[in-house]
Amino acid sequence: MMSMMTRRQWSCLTFGGLLSALSRPADAFGVRRPPIRGVSLGAQSYSFRDRPRDALIVAMQEAGLSNCELWQEHVEPKDVKRDEMRRWRETVSLDEFRAIKNKFDRAGIAITAYNISFKDNFSDREIERGFEMTKALGAPVITSSANIGVVPRVAAVAARYKIPVGMHNHSKIDPNEFATPENFIAAMKAGPYIAVNLDIGHFTAANFDAVEFLREHHDRIVSLHIKDRKRNDGPNVPFGEGDTPIGPVLRMLRDRKWAIPANIEYEYEGGDTVQEVRRCLDYCRKELES
């Protein structure tokens, strides 16, 4: 139970694993880029949803990124029915995931999280396999756009594997989806390994304060998604054109020395993906250097 784990113990557990991933040295094939003013900037691979996994790796290198939160759709088979997907998750060889890890390692890109979204219709075996896949990828945490209803089952498996699961929010207020601070706070009571993957853009669009939430709950946040949106469920927009406090959030990470990966999620309507992600990265860099 959470009462048995102090904040210091939690921080050592989660941030120790994250720091290990973020400081992983590159081999002869890749160049690891240092943090910017102490902040590790990476990308959610959903940003590169227009290309397959191998092209994603190349695109991340071209964009100047070396930390990746790996989206499940860059791993799982495409266009299969629900039963087929369940069978694949339950039976696929973990060697496939080790091979993926090796490709990222050779490219000098650290996988800081595996993003697999646990849903109410997941079998118990599918949930457990999500943790086995994460270990095979060498990722220290899971991020998940999960249903609220599945949290107790996930919490039990997370405690056995000792892998934190950061629940991801959207802006839609729904009784079975994460959106509000209360949703996160209630979920974290389910077990010590249930954490937060705070999407500051969606949080802002739902009219909540990302800076305040980060300040109060940073010790249970294992990943940030960085995007810009307008309030009142407004649209995704280029960085700097919305209401999301991107600069204040990044500078809080910098000034407090919190080792929370900040992952760009390119989601607005733009042009070439690599150029747009690089534009997002440049904006974040300027905010950190200000």
Where residue 2 falls among pLDDT bands split at 50, 70, 90? very low
Q: For residue range 138-176, list pLDDT tens digits in order.
A: 999 999 999 999 999 999 999 999 999 999 999 999 999
Mean pLDDT of the chain: 92
CA separation for the pair 89, 11 (Å, rounded): 31
Task: Say what the pLDDT of residue 4 is.
Answer: 46
Is residue 168 a contact partner of residue 206, using CB atoms and an 8 Å limit? Answer: no
Task: Say what the pLDDT of residue 37 is.
Answer: 86
Domain residue spans of the chain: 2-21+34-289
Is the pLDDT score of 198 beyond 50? Answer: yes
DSSP state of 232: T
Q: For residue range 57-97, list pLDDT tens digits in order.
A: 999 999 999 999 999 999 999 999 999 999 999 999 999 99
User: CA dist 88 to 80, 94, 126, 273, Å?
Assistant: 10, 11, 9, 30
The token pair at 187 is 């979920």
Please name the residue that has the structure tokens 């896949």.
133
Is the pLDDT score of 202 beyond 90? Answer: yes
Where residue 34 falls among pLDDT bands split at 50, 70, 90? low
Where residue 8 falls among pLDDT bands split at 50, 70, 90? low
The correct answer on CATH 3.20.20.150 for the domain covering 2-21+34-289 is yes
Is residue 52 a contact partner of residue 92, using CB atoms and an 8 Å limit? Answer: no
pLDDT, average across residues 48-55: 98
pLDDT, average across residues 103-111: 97
Q: Which of 26-40, 116-130, 172-186, 237-251 is predicted least confidently?
A: 26-40
CA separation for the pair 32, 18 (Å, rounded): 15
